[in-house]
């Protein structure tokens, strides 16, 4: 064994060994418990960032730990390879997106391998490969046949610079998230997946996901947004089609003082035709962002349409407005407004001087002032000012009013979901072609199964405008599969969430070229542990859950949910340093180029730029970002200290769900620990390794060290396996190393205890620092490779304390303490208690009527 710890040599040796022995290639084995560990696959942006490294290290530690528990562990990796950045890079560097993507994959694969992740590389996949995306094209045509896919013209957010449709989440303050251009509203035909058909199941099955963070389940629940209400028809005073509204509060109907419709509502459109002021108002509203979140915060505006509606219960006539806060895509696009009991209606009524009338009140009689503030409670309330419906609770009023409308045919109970159908069309080039052909006589025709995949042409030049597919005449013009007449291919591609919605299942059978999935998918799924960023808490996880159910209904998997346990890792933060230049702008310097200065309390107060020796200001810790130049390229750390140090630092610096504060001194600390461990093993094996530990013949200090080793093992197993607090397991291993260093091994018995304790440290750390583990296991003279070792069993007898302390009571009062051997019998304990001088004083020769011994705790003598 080398005396000096040389990470580069150690890491390549271990990695070669794993590759030669195909250590991480797995096969289905019905006789063994399987464990499928998956980290969210990366977008091949070019280089791993530190968030990736954290994500993959956490996943790898869990996978390796589960392997040591004897499970048949699958840990695959692949590439989420379609998406906009490839097109932008193509535009900038004049390389086709496919080439750029594959070059990035090659580089990043090397980075992942250098980090020693235990992936089954034989299953690697990239979603831009036709062998992958053909199956989502196939599924799409199946769903089309089943009626789960439809085409609909809809208003979209149009980014005039990127020439693409944006999701509502991609519109920030009315501008495109990437281009910053003012977003326009346009109507174009799009393909939709009917996720709404699964809304109830997606909601109810959240209850099965007990091992997901509660916060994520809540976000999903809110996103699905189930609501129970009533649709009611309000007649218009002028006659014609009644105005149908959706309300969850029919109990407040007597408080409706106006109505409001969306700017796209048929009534608003009809009146716009003759009223240019209304038309202009509607057009103006459509320009802004259409996201619900934005409308929530935007100033509420509207205009009276000049028509009145008749309240079906009170007969009152109330004005109808068109208003920007009513969404056409929810409910019926029209509402009754009750300003006394709804926030938005209240703000609107105050602004336009509309009446505010209280119709519900606190059941306990306390006063409220709805002119000043709406009161919105459903609980502990009673209806007031509501004619024959006064004096009722929410549930009573809801039911009576709903029953009445249903009997009259004027209304009906209805469940609505906030969740919208998933628009999957993207007007982008670098994505999976939507397998549809448009024919003038047959309409849209799905590409027949035999003609799949529709391969995306990769030899293109990207111009920045419309998708290059539109200009590829040879590709676009094809005969109609139905009638054979000239027809055109769809040039839109799928939303890239399509690919990431089912990759986890494909990893079970990536080589299957006759079907989307095969029986191996039922063996491996659901994923037992999924690890990824909280930014995917809603859309990615929801779409993957939806796809899992779609695939289940195709008979492709046999479970209801794709991910059994979910861990969402925290962000990585780093210090930021800056200088303010003459015109007030800030220049940011990488923390790696700055030597920080600390104040008396040890807090960073500033720093010096290494290149010019001049001071820089400290800007605090913040999320790593380009704008603050505080991103740390993990490759720099790997090159400097090795993969094990980076892995150890990441797992030690914080529990996985919390933010991690990057600091180079922390990385150095991890490196020093590994050097210390290396030296300890080196010094130990210099004398020779030992493997004949005799637990019975140990001295007290030897027993103490052995107990510490097994206590550490016990704690680490619980911390890693159950609590997922890897940092405390590492801290315990560090303490054990300290104890070994303080221990004077001396002769054979002591050296055997040290040998065992060192082996325990190596095994505990094996999932975290697997390369060092590989080398030290060999150095300790153990057979086999550490990667194939089982997690060691705790020796319960080693945990027993040499001596235990008991309290002694006489007639229930504390009279003394004794220390006895942990294995002492009842007689010996009693004898020791009676020999205690103070106890003797209180017993004082009297007859012992009762003697109670609670082992390990107390003795009570009754005299
Ligand atoms: C009258 C009322 C009185 C309402 C009251 C609330 C409080 P959820 O729970 O999200 O389903 N609403 C209905 N359709 C809408 C649309 N397209 N755009 C904007 N708002 C709409 O919310 C249902 C409530 O949101 C409905 O109940 C309606 O206002 C409003 F004291 O009707 B309510
Ligand atoms: Zn045709």
Query: In degrees, to the nearest 5, what angle opens at C-alpha 709 toward C-alphas 704 and 715?
Result: 120
Residue that the structure tokens 């004619």 belong to: 387
Position 684 pLDDT exceeds 70: yes
pLDDT of residue 818: 87
Atom 11, ligand 1: residue with shortest CA distance: 227
* 763/788 Cα distance (integer angstroms): 11
**Residue 288 burial by CB count (10 A; 0-12/13-18/19+): exposed, middle or buried?**
middle
* 331/528 Cα distance (integer angstroms): 38
* Continuous segment of H or E residues that includes residue 827: helix 826-835
Residues with CB under 6 A from ligand 1: 227, 229, 246-249, 252, 326-327, 330-331, 333, 335-336, 338, 341-342, 416
pLDDT of residue 293: 57
Q: How far is CA 444 from its chain centroid?
A: 37
Give the closest ligand to the alpha carbon of residue 344: 1
In SS3 terms, 384-410 reads as CCCHHHCCCCHHHHHHHHHHHHHHHCC
Position 292 pLDDT exceeds 80: no
pLDDT of residue 221: 97
Closest to 669 (Cα-Cα) out of 677, 657, 659: 677
- Which of 246, 318, 398 for a ligand 1 pocket mutation test, highest count of atoms within 8 Å of Cβ? 246
> Which residues share a beta bridge with 166?
157
| Separation in Å, CA 205 to CA 24, 389, 526, 546 | 33, 38, 14, 11
* 264/273 Cα distance (integer angstroms): 13
Question: What's the predicted TM-score (pTM) here?
Answer: 0.87
Burial letters 674-708, b for 16+ CB under 10 A, else e: beebbebbbebbeeebbeebeeeebeeebbbbbbb
More confident residue, 389 or 825: 389
**353 in helix, strand or coil?**
coil
| Atom from ligand 1 closest to the CA of residue 227 | 11
* 527, 38 Cβ separation under 8 angstroms: yes
Position 283 pLDDT exceeds 60: yes
The mean pLDDT value for 589-614 works out to 92
- Respond yes or no on whether the N-terminal peptide bond of residue 209 is cis (omega within 30° of 0): no
Tokens at 282, concatenated: 């509607």
pLDDT in tens, 83-121: 988 988 888 888 999 999 999 999 999 999 999 999 999
| Separation in Å, CA 278 to CA 1, 266, 275, 284 | 85, 13, 6, 10
* 413, 454 Cβ separation under 8 angstroms: no
Q: How far is CA 347 from its chain centroid?
A: 36
Compute the mean pLDDT over every residue in the chain, rounded to the nearest whole number. 93
The mean pLDDT value for 132-139 works out to 98
pLDDT of residue 93: 87
**583 in helix, strand or coil?**
coil
pLDDT of residue 802: 65
pLDDT of residue 583: 86
Burial letters 435-474, b for 16+ CB under 10 A, else e: bbbebeeeeebbbeeeebbbebeeebebeeeebbbbebee
* 148/144 Cα distance (integer angstroms): 6
Residue 206 CB contacts under 8 Å (≥ 6 apart), including other chains: 212, 217, 220, 221
* 811, 713 Cβ separation under 8 angstroms: no
> Which residues share a beta bridge with 532?
568
Atom 29, ligand 1: residue with shortest CA distance: 247
Helix axes of 643-653 and 50-68: crossing angle, nearest 10 degrees: 90
Q: Over pLDDT 90: what percentage of the chain?
A: 80
The mean pLDDT value for 513-541 works out to 96
The neighbour count for residue 355, using CB atoms within 10 Å, is 12
* 419/438 Cα distance (integer angstroms): 29
Give the closest ligand to the alpha carbon of residue 263: 1
DSSP 797-808: HHHS-SEEEEEE
pLDDT in tens, 556-583: 999 999 999 999 999 999 999 999 988 8
User: Long-range contact list for 608-614, CB < 8 A, 24+ apart?
Assistant: 609/577
* 684, 740 Cβ separation under 8 angstroms: no
> Which residues share a beta bridge with 433?
493
- Which of 223, 294, 335 for a ligand 1 pocket mutation test, highest count of atoms within 8 Å of Cβ? 335
Position 360 pLDDT exceeds 80: yes
pLDDT of residue 179: 82
Give the closest ligand to the alpha carbon of residue 437: 2
* 644/642 Cα distance (integer angstroms): 6
The mean pLDDT value for 637-666 works out to 96
* 421/409 Cα distance (integer angstroms): 29
pLDDT-based confidence at 288, cuts 50/70/90?
A: low
Atom 19, ligand 1: residue with shortest CA distance: 326
pLDDT of residue 493: 96
Provide Rg for the chain, Cα atoms. Answer: 35
Give the closest ligand to the alpha carbon of residue 259: 1
The mean pLDDT value for 399-420 works out to 97
Distance (angstroms) between ligand 1 centre and the Cα of 334 equals 9
Distance (angstroms) between ligand 1 centre and the Cα of 330 equals 9
Tokens at 747, concatenated: 């002769």
Which of the residue ranges 90-104, 248-262, 280-294, 664-678 would you say has the lowest mean pLDDT?
280-294
pLDDT of residue 464: 65
The mean pLDDT value for 423-450 works out to 96
| Separation in Å, CA 503 to CA 84, 102, 113, 132, 179 | 19, 18, 21, 9, 29
DSSP 437-473: EEETTTEEEEPPGGG---PPP------SSS-GGGG-H
Strands (E), 265-333: 302-310, 317-323
pLDDT of residue 171: 79
Which of the residue ranges 286-295, 298-307, 640-649, 676-685 would you say has the lowest mean pLDDT?
286-295
pLDDT of residue 169: 60
The mean pLDDT value for 50-56 works out to 96
* 561, 588 Cβ separation under 8 angstroms: no
Position 15 pLDDT exceeds 60: yes
- Which of 199, 230, 248 for a ligand 1 pocket mutation test, highest count of atoms within 8 Å of Cβ? 248
| Separation in Å, CA 797 to CA 387, 793, 800, 821 | 79, 12, 5, 14
Position 187 pLDDT exceeds 60: yes
pLDDT-based confidence at 670, cuts 50/70/90?
A: very high
* 81, 430 Cβ separation under 8 angstroms: no
DSSP summary character for residue 720 = I
């Amino acid at each position: 064994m080398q005396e000096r710890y040389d990470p580069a040599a150690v890491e390549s040796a271990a990695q070669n060994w794993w590759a030669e022995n195909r250590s991480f290639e797995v096969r289905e084995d019905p006789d063994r418990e399987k464990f499928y560990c998956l980290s969210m696959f990366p977008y091949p942006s070019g280089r791993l960032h530190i968030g990736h490294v954290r994500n993959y290290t956490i996943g790898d530690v869990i996978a390796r730990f589960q392997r040591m528990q004897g499970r048949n562990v699958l840990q695959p990796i692949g590439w989420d390879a379609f998406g906009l950045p490839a097109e932008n890079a193509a535009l900038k560097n004049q390389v086709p997106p496919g080439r750029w993507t594959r070059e990035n994959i090659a580089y990043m694969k090397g980075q992942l391998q250098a980090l020693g992740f235990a992936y089954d590389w034989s299953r690697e996949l990239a979603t831009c490969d036709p062998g992958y995306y053909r199956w989502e094209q196939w599924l799409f045509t199946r769903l089309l046949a089943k009626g789960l896919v439809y085409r609909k013209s809809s208003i979209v957010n149009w980014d005039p610079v990127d020439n693409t449709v944006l999701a509502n989440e991609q519109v920030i303050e009315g501008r495109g998230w990437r281009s910053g251009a003012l977003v326009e509203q346009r109507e174009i035909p799009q393909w939709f997946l009917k996720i709404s058909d699964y809304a109830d199941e997606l909601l109810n099955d959240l209850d099965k996901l007990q091992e997901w963070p509660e916060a994520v389940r809540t976000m999903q629940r809110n996103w699905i947004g189930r609501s129970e209400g009533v649709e009611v028809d309000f007649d218009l005073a002028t006659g014609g089609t009644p105005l149908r509204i959706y309300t969850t509060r029919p109990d407040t109907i007597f408080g409706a003082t106006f109505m409001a419709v969306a700017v796209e509502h048929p009534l608003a459109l009809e009146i716009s035709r003759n009223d240019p002021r209304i038309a202009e108002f509607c057009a103006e509203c459509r320009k802004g962002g259409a996201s619900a979140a934005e409308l929530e915060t935007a100033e509420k505006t509207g205009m009276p349409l000049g028509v009145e509606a008749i309240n079906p219960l009170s007969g009152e006539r109330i004005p109808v407005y068109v208003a920007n806060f009513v969404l056409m895509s929810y409910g019926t696009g029209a509402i009754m407004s009750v300003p006394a009991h709804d926030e938005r209606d209240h703000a609107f009524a105050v602004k336009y001087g509309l009446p505010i009338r209280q119709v519900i009140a606190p059941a306990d009689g306390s006063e409220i002032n709805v002119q000043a503030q709406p009161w919105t409670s459903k609980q502990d309330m009673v209806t007031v000012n509501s004619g024959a419906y006064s004096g009722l609770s929410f549930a009573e009023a809801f039911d009576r009013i709903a029953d009445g409308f249903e009997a009259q045919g004027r209304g009906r109970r209805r469940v609505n979901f906030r969740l919208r159908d998933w628009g999957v069309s993207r007007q982008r080039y670098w994505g999976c072609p939507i397998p549809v052909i448009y024919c003038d006589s047959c309409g849209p025709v799905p590409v027949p199964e035999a003609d799949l995949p529709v391969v995306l042409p990769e030899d293109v030049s990207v111009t920045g405008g419309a998708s290059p597919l539109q200009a590829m005449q040879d590709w676009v013009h094809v005969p109609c599969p139905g009638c054979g007449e000239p027809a055109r291919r769809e040039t839109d591609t799928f939303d890239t969430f399509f690919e990431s919605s089912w990759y986890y299942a494909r990893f079970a059978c990536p080589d299957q070229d006759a079907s989307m999935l095969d029986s191996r998918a039922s063996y491996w799924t659901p994923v037992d542990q999924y690890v990824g960023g909280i930014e995917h808490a809603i859309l990615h996880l929801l779409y993957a859950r939806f796809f899992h159910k779609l695939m289940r209904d195709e008979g492709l998997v046999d479970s209801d949910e794709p991910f059994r346990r979910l861990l969402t890792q925290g962000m990585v933060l780093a210090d930021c340093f800056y200088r303010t230049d003459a015109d007030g702008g800030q220049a940011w310097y990488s923390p790696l180029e700055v030597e920080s200065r600390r104040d008396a309390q040890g807090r960073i107060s500033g720093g010096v730029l290494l290149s010019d020796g001049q001071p820089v200001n400290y800007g605090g810790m913040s999320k790593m970002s380009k704008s603050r130049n505080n991103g740390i390229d993990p490759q720099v750390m790997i090159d400097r200290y090795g993969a094990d140090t980076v892995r150890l630092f990441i797992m030690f610096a914080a529990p996985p769900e919390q933010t991690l504060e990057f600091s180079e001194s922390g990385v150095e600390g991890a490196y020093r620990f590994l050097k210390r461990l290396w030296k300890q093993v080196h010094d130990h094996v210099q004398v020779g390794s030992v493997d004949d530990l005799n637990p019975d013949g140990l001295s007290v200090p030897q027993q103490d060290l052995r107990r510490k080793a097994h206590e550490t093992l016990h704690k680490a197993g619980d911390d890693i396996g159950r609590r997922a607090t890897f940092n405390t397991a590492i801290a315990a291993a560090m303490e054990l190393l300290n104890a070994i260093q303080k221990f004077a091994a001396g002769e054979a018995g002591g050296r055997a205890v040290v040998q065992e304790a060192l082996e325990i440290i190596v095994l505990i750390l094996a999932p975290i620092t697997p390369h060092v583990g590989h080398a030290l296991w060999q150095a300790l003279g153990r057979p086999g490779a550490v990667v194939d070792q089982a997690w060691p069993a705790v020796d319960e007898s080693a945990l027993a304390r040499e001596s235990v302390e008991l309290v002694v009571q006489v007639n229930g009062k504390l009279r003394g303490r004794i220390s006895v051997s942990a294995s002492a019998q009842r007689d010996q304990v009693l004898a020791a208690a009676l020999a205690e001088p103070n106890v003797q004083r209180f017993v004082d020769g009297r007859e012992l009527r009762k003697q109670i011994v609670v082992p390990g705790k107390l003795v009570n003598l009754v005299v």
